[in-house]
Amino acid sequence: MSVKIFGHQNPDTDTITSAIVLCDIETQLGNDCVSTRLGGISAETKYALDYFNHEAPEQIDSVNDNDEVMLVDHNEFQQSAENIENAVVLKVFDHHRIANFQTEGPLYYRAEPVGCTATILNKIYKEHNLTVSKQMAGLMLSAIISDTLLFKSPTTTDEDIAAAEELEKIAEVNADEYGIEMLKAGASTKDKTAEALITGDAKTFAMGNKNSRIAQINVVDVDEVFARKAEIEAAINKEIETEGYDLFILVVTDILKSNSKVLALGHDALSVEKAFDVTLDQDTAVLEGVVSRKKQVVPNITQALS
Amino acid sequence: MSVKIFGHQNPDTDTITSAIVLCDIETQLGNDCVSTRLGGISAETKYALDYFNHEAPEQIDSVNDNDEVMLVDHNEFQQSAENIENAVVLKVFDHHRIANFQTEGPLYYRAEPVGCTATILNKIYKEHNLTVSKQMAGLMLSAIISDTLLFKSPTTTDEDIAAAEELEKIAEVNADEYGIEMLKAGASTKDKTAEALITGDAKTFAMGNKNSRIAQINVVDVDEVFARKAEIEAAINKEIETEGYDLFILVVTDILKSNSKVLALGHDALSVEKAFDVTLDQDTAVLEGVVSRKKQVVPNITQALS
């Protein structure tokens, strides 16, 4: 049976395109695989897939016992497919911390502290002397632009920038021009329900004995979101009640100003004050310079809760 | 402060030499580091260090809060330095399963399902276009010979063999001739106390809710060990009592015949019968073709206990 390749739940552009790109790599290496996804395609990702004329991977929810799988852009089991504990993880390509992950046997695991999984996959093509097509280059470039917010996020490394410079030539686009259009395509919140806003790019983190849910949306108009504060709060409080989160943070990131306004709820909401040395005003605070969940929000909240 | 590089407790040849070799790589990359070790040097490792004229790394037991470290040849915290939970793991190079390992932030993690950490490090030299000295080649070759029992272990991959072929040329030795002498140097059990035999190369594994200790010794004379069975059993039972192991297996591997005789104690000792379809006779059984703790003993016992 084909090896299933997938990224995390609530897939973003890096997760979707990296599943496609890794499947291209494995296919070139002679391995039978299929790229899949654990959730819907965002407007931003749809823009990238349409632009480079590639279909979305097939959606799955769970894996079967002993299924052979490869993970991209995540490793924590609670962010992965249902029943992942009983699958055989052959390979992982990721750029996040490692936690809540374990295997019974040896595996290939490639994590690097770079801004994007695609930056690592771009290296893998070279290590195996494989061909990067225009289409794959465009998908990897889209992932880097998405994860680094067009190179403005503090997660951006020199390697991401160098990879993007290589890839924009192969993809035959201008990274800045293409990038701002792609980000804008995903930045409108008008057509989205409150539920969609708080679940679209949300991840659960075990922090000590606390269970935190951190959702992020990238926008060009922060006020457009906070005009709907009451509706969004109700949706978050419902999730807190159903899932038992100790803390739920919605991070609304302004992709043009490179800062974020957060809405923090749950009985550990005040940890945000300690984490960022701010005072919450009606459960909200502006975090200057904060655009990265992974590099800024998660470590600070983990520290504040410990 | 220098980044500390170390392998697992009860260091074997791969763990000691990989710490030295990674420090050579990092130094060539311009990073300040020191190779260290978490235990004594075995007779086999001493043979390799003496032959290639390199000092043993400095011994440490624990790390301090926020120390920056790199791990080789292991990742499970219970096999690592005391207080590893509070250190910052920058990089890991390993060829084992991943378990009981987590970080707060992103890191460089390189695991490959090959027979030896040195096989991976040999690739890293190439990826960065670094120079492999005669000395470093000799140390990496020693690690590959040790971990693969001179290419006889089922953990041996084509990559290990290819790496050894490259390295024996740079090290200016014949791998088979040098290898058998090195293995024999570590194979005598006469001068070792029962305590030394059961702790020299022993690792603890969390398997479900069971705590298993699996020790391995490579010998040329299995009877020499089992003539001291009563003395060894007493030492193991003392460890079981002190440490609370559910299962203790001593794997005595015949490096010439490529099989192992095991001694299994603890209240889950019978799991060995299920794991290998054998019958224990006075707590012992011969496991034909079994020479690898990682690839044969750990997975089978994990399965039997689950």
Contact A98 B109 (CB under 8 A): yes
Contact B110 A113 (CB under 8 A): no
Q: Check residue A295 and give its pLDDT.
A: 86
Task: Answer whether B105 touches A (CB < 8 Å).
Answer: yes
A-chain CB neighbours of B302 within 8 Å are 104
Question: Whole-model pTM?
Answer: 0.84
Instruction: Report the number of secondary-structure helices (H) and strands (E) in chain B.
Output: 11, 11
Q: Clarify whether residues A164 and A261 are in a common domain.
A: no
Strand ranges of the sheet holding B202-207, from the earlier edge strand across to the other edge = B202-207, B210-219, B247-254, B259-265, B284-287
Q: Clarify whether residues B174 and B208 are in a common domain.
A: no
Rounded (10°) CA dihedral B14, B15, B20, B21: 50
Rounded (10°) CA dihedral A121, A127, A129, A130: -20
pLDDT tens-digit map of A132-184: 999 999 999 999 999 999 998 889 999 999 999 999 999 999 999 999 999 98
The answer to whether the beta carbons of residues B95 and B73 sit under 8 Å apart is yes
Contact B95 A102 (CB under 8 A): no
Q: Over 90: is that where the pLDDT of A190 sits?
A: no
CA dist., res. A33 & res. A27, Å (int): 7
pLDDT along chain B (306 residues), means of 10: 95 97 98 97 96 98 96 97 97 97 95 98 96 98 96 94 98 96 89 92 90 94 94 97 96 92 96 96 96 92 92
The string of DSSP letters for A48-112 reads HHHHTT-PPPEE-SB--TT-EEEEES---GGGS-BTGGGSEEEEEEE-S---S---SS--EEEE-
Contact A111 B112 (CB under 8 A): no
Q: Clarify whether residues B8 and B70 are in a common domain.
A: yes
Last residue of a domain, one of B133, B154, B185: B185
CB atoms closer than 10 angstroms to residue A48:
25
Q: Clarify whether residues B62 and B106 are in a common domain.
A: yes
pLDDT tens-digit map of A22-73: 999 999 999 999 999 999 999 999 999 999 999 999 999 999 999 999 999 9
Q: Which of B101, B108, B302 sits opposite A104 (nearest CB)?
A: B302
Q: Clarify whether residues B11 and B141 are in a common domain.
A: yes
The alpha-carbon gap from A261 to the nearest alpha carbon of chain B, in Å, equals 23
CATH number (domain holding residue A210): 3.10.310.20
Least CA distance to B295: which residue of chain A?
A105
Q: Which domain holds residue A215?
A: 194-305
Q: Check residue B208 and give its pLDDT.
A: 83
Q: Over 90: is that where the pLDDT of A208 sits?
A: no
Q: Clarify whether residues A296 and A180 are in a common domain.
A: no
Q: Check residue A195 and give its pLDDT.
A: 95
Last residue of a domain, one of A185, A205, A224: A185
Q: Check residue A200 and give its pLDDT.
A: 84
Write the CA distances from A223 to A153, A190, A250, integer angstroms: 21, 11, 14
- For residue B9, which of B35, B37, B34 has the smallest C-alpha distance? B37
The answer to whether the beta carbons of residues A127 and B110 sit under 8 Å apart is no
Cα dihedral B12, B17, B19, B20 sign: positive
Least CA distance to B88: which residue of chain A?
A97
Q: Clarify whether residues B163 and B257 are in a common domain.
A: no
Contact A111 B113 (CB under 8 A): no
Q: Check residue B256 and give its pLDDT.
A: 83
pLDDT tens-digit map of A95-134: 999 999 999 889 999 999 999 999 999 999 999 999 999 9
Q: Clarify whether residues A16 and A147 are in a common domain.
A: yes
Domain count, chain A: 2
Residue B103, SS3 per DSSP: coil
Q: Clarify whether residues A210 and A296 are in a common domain.
A: yes
Q: Clarify whether residues A176 and A212 are in a common domain.
A: no
Q: Check residue B257 and give its pLDDT.
A: 86
Least CA distance to B114: which residue of chain A?
A106
The alpha-carbon gap from A92 to the nearest alpha carbon of chain B, in Å, equals 10
A-chain CB neighbours of B299 within 8 Å are 104-105
Q: Check residue A255 and give its pLDDT.
A: 87
Interface probe, candidates B75, B103, B109, chain A, greatest A C-beta count within 10 A? B109
Contact B97 A104 (CB under 8 A): yes
Q: Clarify whether residues A219 and A166 are in a common domain.
A: no
Last residue of a domain, one of A131, A160, A185: A185
Q: Over 90: is that where the pLDDT of A188 sits?
A: no
Strand ranges of the sheet holding A210-219, from the earlier edge strand across to the other edge = A202-207, A210-219, A247-254, A259-265, A284-287
Residues 6 or more apart from B183 whose CB is under 8 A from it? B44, B145, B146, B149, B150, B218, B255
The answer to whether the beta carbons of residues B185 and B50 sit under 8 Å apart is no
Hey, what are B190's tokens? 């006469």
CA dist., res. B218 & res. A244, Å (int): 52
CATH number (domain holding residue A13): 3.90.1640.10
Q: Clarify whether residues A17 and A163 are in a common domain.
A: yes
CA dist., res. A183 & res. A255, Å (int): 8
Task: Answer whether A294 touches B (CB < 8 Å).
Answer: yes
Contact A97 B113 (CB under 8 A): no
Contact B106 A302 (CB under 8 A): no
